[in-house]
Structures are given as structure tokens and as C-alpha cells.
Structure 1
Amino acid sequence: MKIYLASKSPRRQELLKLMGFEFELMIKEIDESYPAGLPLIEVAPYLSKIKSDAFEINYDDEIIITADTVVIINDELLGKPKNNEHAFEMLSKLNGRTHLVVTGVTIKSKKKVHTFSQTTKVAFSKLSDDQLWFYILNYRPLDKAGAYGIQDWIGMVGVSSIEGSYTNVMGLPTEKLNSELMRFL
């Protein structure tokens, strides 16, 4: 099978490579809005499906993988921050608390489409405002849901525990993707 990954995320690209897959990138700008009233736990799989719908599969031996990751805390969805101040606001909400990271993934071939999601619970220890700013200014997490990357400095010093998939928090639940791909093919 020829695999396409529709993602600008360097973390998703790295994880798919580490899984041993060869793939090509397909990139399109997609409107990432979702219906008001959609349960927050369903936003990431909804968006991964919308991303998948933007691509046409022409041959039987091709599949495309799309994904979206969101952070949920206290019935609030945190996407990617708009700027450094917004990143600080997001990290302040997560600081010293537990939140959910949900990644939705869609696998699409010419004949079928399959969407699934994975949820991981992440607990942050309490960091000072100076530490949060150090992270923002030195690691520039503006391209990350919830304004952090678990594989970065903040994951090393600020994440006290996770319950679930580590790679899901990075943006692609690799173990579940592998098993879903084996069933899909």
C-alpha cells in the first residue's frame, strides 16, 4: 500500500517513520471549525474526518492518514495558541492540574473510511510563572495543542504522570494506529 500522511506536524511525521512506514506528505489548509454543541471528546475525531474528506483517493493501493489532537480541561477545549500570551494563558490553566489529550485519526482508502480516537490523561505538577515563560520563549510551542509538547522540556520537568498512550500526547497514538491499520488493510 502507498501511504500518504496529511499532516504538517513534524511529530506525526517522525512517529510514523519510527513505526517503520514509508509515506508521502499531502498538505492542504483545512477549516478546523466544528459544530457548536459537539461533545468536546468528539472534536478531534470529527476534525480528522473533515481533514480526510478534503483528499481524493484515486487508486485501490493507496491510503491516507489524517489526525487532529486537542486538549480538554474543565469542559474547555484548548487548541493551538495564537501567540505567546495565549500560550501562557493555556499553560496556566493546565499548571498543577490534570487534563485530557484526545487524538482523532482517520484512515481512508478508495473504498472505505475508518475514524477512531484515543484519550490520555496527563497530570502537570505546579510550575512557576517564570518556568512557564522560560518554556514558551525557548521552545516556542505555538504549533502544539494546549501549548506544550510532552517530548519537550516541560514534559521532562512538568508532567508528573500520564495515564494512557505517551505517543497520543505527542499527536499520534502509534500502538492503536498500528492495530487499526492492520484491521483496515
Structure 2
Amino acid sequence: MNFILASQSPTRKHLMELLGVPFEVIPSGVEERAFNMKDPHKLARALACAKAEAVFHKHTDAVVIGCDTLAWFRGKILGKPKDARDAFTTLKALRDFRDAHELISGVCIIAPAWRKSFVATTNL
């Protein structure tokens, strides 16, 4: 059985490598901005499943893993930073306000005979 990670994330690739299972990286090409959901848990799951489905559609004999992680802070979803300056501004706000924020990760695993998706939340 072939395993495919539907992600370009170096961190996710590293985590898969730690498992010691051979896998291939195939980016999904899913346009994340096309998803307009207010609930961060539903959005993370929907994005993870869309990524896995896009790759599984072309590789129906494999186990495809799609993931998405987003930050939730003061009732808003924090998008991916546009550049280094934007990332610095976001990190500074998280530090200065000292409010709790959440990292919400959606995971979707699709195989020829089954499918599983879930959401995990980390409070910071």
C-alpha cells in the first residue's frame, strides 16, 4: 500500500518521516481561500478533506493523508502570513495580548475502502 501526504509542509513531511513508513509527497493544489467558513474546527476539517480528496481522486489505490492547521485568536481565524513582516506582526500580537489562542488541526485519511477525519485542538 502506498502512502501519500497531500501537503507541501516541511513540518508535516518531517513528522511522516519520523514514522519510518515510506511515503510520497503530492501537493493537493487546493485553493484555501475558496473556503469561507466561520467555524475554525469545520474549516480545518473541510480543508484537510478537500486536500486528501483532490489527491486521492488521482491515486485511488493509495492511502492519502490531508492536513490543515489554523490559529484561532480573539474569535478570529488567523490566516497564513503574507510575508515575514506580517508573520512578525501576528506573533507580536499573540505575545503582547497574552490571550490564550488555539491551534486547530484537521486531518483526513482516505484509503480505497475507508475514510477517517478528525480535528485536534491545542490551547496555547
Structure 1's unaligned 5+ residue stretches are 123-185
Q: Which residue of 2 aligns with 1:14?
A: 14
Structure 1 match to 2:60: 58
Provide Cα deviations, 1:34-73, integer angstroms capped at 9, x if missing partner: 234x4122211110011112122332xx200010000001
**Counterpart of 1:114?**
116
CA RMSD of aligned residues (A): 1.5
Are the equivalent residues in 2 in contact too, given 1:40–1:75 (CA < 8 A)? Answer: no
> Which residue of structure 2 aligns with residue 24 of structure 1?
24
Query: Aligned to 1:58, what secondary structure does the other structure show?
Result: coil
1:67 corresponds to 2:67: yes
Higher RCO (CA < 8 A, seq sep 6+) = 2
Number of residue pairs aligned between Structure 1 and Structure 2: 119
Query: For 2:65, what is the secondary structure of its paired residue?
Result: strand
Gaps of 5+ in 2: none
SS of 1:54's equivalent in the other structure is helix
**Contact 2:65 2:107 (8 Å CA) reproduced:** yes
Asked if 1 retains the 8 angstrom alpha-carbon contact of 2:40 and 2:104, the reply is: no
- The structural deviation recorded for 1:112 is 2.6
Query: What is the match of residue 35 of structure 1?
Result: 36
Instruction: Write out per-residue CA displacement over residues 64-88 of structure 1, whole angstroms, 9 at most, x where no aligned residue.
Output: 0010000001111112100223212
1:19 counterpart letter in structure 2: L
Opposite residue 36 of structure 2, the aligned amino acid is P
Once the two structures are overlaid, the 10-residue window that deviates more, 64-73 or 107-116, is 107-116
Instruction: Give the TM-score of the pair, scaled to structure 2.
Output: 0.86
Distance 1:12 1:85 in 2: 24
Structure 1 residue ranges (4+ consecutive) displaced by more than 6 angstroms after TM superposition = none
Higher-Rg member (1/2): 1
| Between structures 1 and 2, the one with greater strand share | 2
Identity %: 30
